[in-house]
Amino acid sequence: MLSNGSRISLHIRESRYHQNLGLGFCTSKFFQLSSFMVRPLSVAIIGENYNQRLQRRSVSSSSLQSKSPGELPLLSECFSQREDERELPPEGLYPVAGGIVALGKFDALHVGHRELAIQASKVGAPYLLSFVGMAEVFGWEPRAPIVAKCDRKRVLSSWAPHCGGVAPVEFQIEFSSVRHLTPQQFVEKLSKDFGVNGVVAGENYRFGYKAAGDASELVRLCGEYGMDAYIINSVMDKNQDSRDIDSKDFKERGQVSSTRVRHALAIGDMKYVSELLGRPHRLILMVNDQEELTSSRNKHMLSVSKSCLLNLPPKEGFYENCTVLFGDENPVRCRIFIDSTRIHLEMDEVGLSSFDNSQDLRLLGIEFGVLES
């Protein structure tokens, strides 16, 4: 349908964290662009804080290892430094220097975002460049991310086959540090401070203070500063249910968007979600002990508290054709039932053998359905 071209003892996710996300989760102890047009042209970004910050905490050295895009991410990646502390490497050079940056909001990492990365990879080292901290600056109500922060690297790694074998790298900067810049000042910053060779953006892209600049302005300014710019057509959503999206949004022109992904999750249409993302939606949960995760005697049933969630689940209800992943164990097919406080799993095989009380912290992944080719 779419074109082809992831009781915490440390108290980092206590109940107020989920209240701040607006999830309302109970902490009960029981629980691809079809034929995109590229116009080479001779940036500015408006990003969004989709990665909700977790406090930095020390984690056991026995963290789960992620050896391939199909496995769970490193547990330690769920605990990040403040983004502004990572903004400039010690040697004084930005990681994006000499690369091609895709510009946009990358909440969902959907097929439209992937198309930006594909074009960037055709002309240089591909990067995603976005902002963090917009919610704090504008006073927006925080919300759960579509992709768990610690799962973003896995998703980007899965794009490598589409990007000439190179996985795009995500680079984020604080929105507050550039929000005041005019379109020209921002492009100048990209050129002189960041040292990028070129940018890729969608046809509806806007940037600069009060979103004053559009795609044509981006082209003109990049030319002035000796950078290449590539503007691509939007990846359109051909799903008939898209008419339910709020048409009052001036940016809503029928293209694949993070808003559509959130809408699809809200109605529980996981096939639609997979089509928009270009992959099955994966939930990541961080679980610790029996207050958050319980299993039945036959080990075919598992129940996890919603307080463990690190990203946005679909609506409450029953979901077949799912997969549960735990560490480096083989994926196990399962059925999922989501209620107001817990996620219940009924597995086709014996449950997760490595879940025991000897480990302090572990990640659990749940994928909804399989994307059909």
Whether 152 has a pLDDT exceeding 50, the answer reads: yes
pLDDT score at 347: 87
d(Cα 37, Cα 57) in Å, to the nearest integer?
46
d(Cα 281, Cα 156) in Å, to the nearest integer?
14
What is the CB-side half-sphere exposure of residue 201 using CA atoms within 13 A? Answer: 28
Where is pLDDT greater, at 305 or 22? 305
Average pLDDT of the segment spanning 47-68: 33
Domain stop point among 206, 231, 261:
261
User: Do 44 and 171 belong to one domain?
Assistant: yes
User: Do 203 and 245 belong to one domain?
Assistant: yes
Question: Does residue 3 form part of some domain?
Answer: no
For residue 39, which amino acid is it? R
Element (DSSP H or E) covering residue 333: strand 332-338
Question: Does residue 266 form part of some domain?
Answer: no
Give the confidence band of 116 by pLDDT, cuts at 50, 70, 90.
very high
What's 57's domain CATH number?
3.40.50.620
Average pLDDT, the chain: 75
Whether 31 has a pLDDT exceeding 50, the answer reads: no
Q: How is residue 253 annotated by DSSP? A: S
| Residue 232 CB burial class (10 angstroms; 0-12, 13-18, ≥19) | buried
User: Do 122 and 26 belong to one domain?
Assistant: yes
Question: Does residue 10 form part of some domain?
Answer: no
Give the confidence band of 252 by pLDDT, cuts at 50, 70, 90.
low
Give the confidence band of 88 by pLDDT, cuts at 50, 70, 90.
very low
User: Do 209 and 143 belong to one domain?
Assistant: yes
Q: Give the 3-state secondary structure percentages of the chain, helix then strand then coil, rounded to 5.
A: 25, 20, 50
The answer to whether 107 and 50 are in contact (CB under 8 A) is yes
Classified as helix, coil or strand, 219 is: helix
pLDDT score at 240: 52
Q: What is the pLDDT of residues 118-127, one digit of tens each?
A: 999 999 999 9
pLDDT score at 159: 98
pLDDT score at 348: 75
User: Do 168 and 221 belong to one domain?
Assistant: yes
User: Do 112 and 151 belong to one domain?
Assistant: yes
Number of domains in the chain: 2
d(Cα 218, Cα 232) in Å, to the nearest integer?
13
Question: Does residue 354 form part of some domain?
Answer: yes
Whether 139 has a pLDDT exceeding 80, the answer reads: yes
pLDDT score at 311: 97
Percent of the chain with pLDDT over 90: 49
Give the confidence band of 161 by pLDDT, cuts at 50, 70, 90.
very high
- For the chain, helix (H) and strand (E) counts, in that order, are 8, 13
Question: Does residue 295 form part of some domain?
Answer: yes
User: Do 105 and 252 belong to one domain?
Assistant: yes
Choose the weakest-confidence range: 5-19, 281-295, 357-371.
5-19
pLDDT score at 301: 85
Average pLDDT of the segment spanning 185-214: 94
User: Do 70 and 181 belong to one domain?
Assistant: yes
pTM, whole model, 2 decimals? 0.75
Query: Which residues are registered as beta bridge partners of 302?
Result: 295, 345
Whether 50 has a pLDDT exceeding 70, the answer reads: no
Question: Does residue 276 form part of some domain?
Answer: no
What domain range includes position 310? 282-368
pLDDT score at 108: 96
Question: Does residue 150 form part of some domain?
Answer: yes
pLDDT score at 350: 60
What angle (nearest 5°) sits at the alpha carbon of residue 107, between those of residues 15 and 162?
135
User: Do 74 and 113 belong to one domain?
Assistant: yes
What's 337's domain CATH number?
2.40.30
User: Do 233 and 164 belong to one domain?
Assistant: yes
Domain stop point among 232, 261, 290:
261
User: Do 306 and 178 belong to one domain?
Assistant: no
Question: Does residue 37 form part of some domain?
Answer: yes
Q: Kindly list the distances between the CA atom of residue 41 and the CA atoms of 172, 199, 242, 273, in Å, as whole numbers in the listed order.
A: 25, 10, 32, 33
The answer to whether 123 and 40 are in contact (CB under 8 A) is no
User: Do 186 and 240 belong to one domain?
Assistant: yes
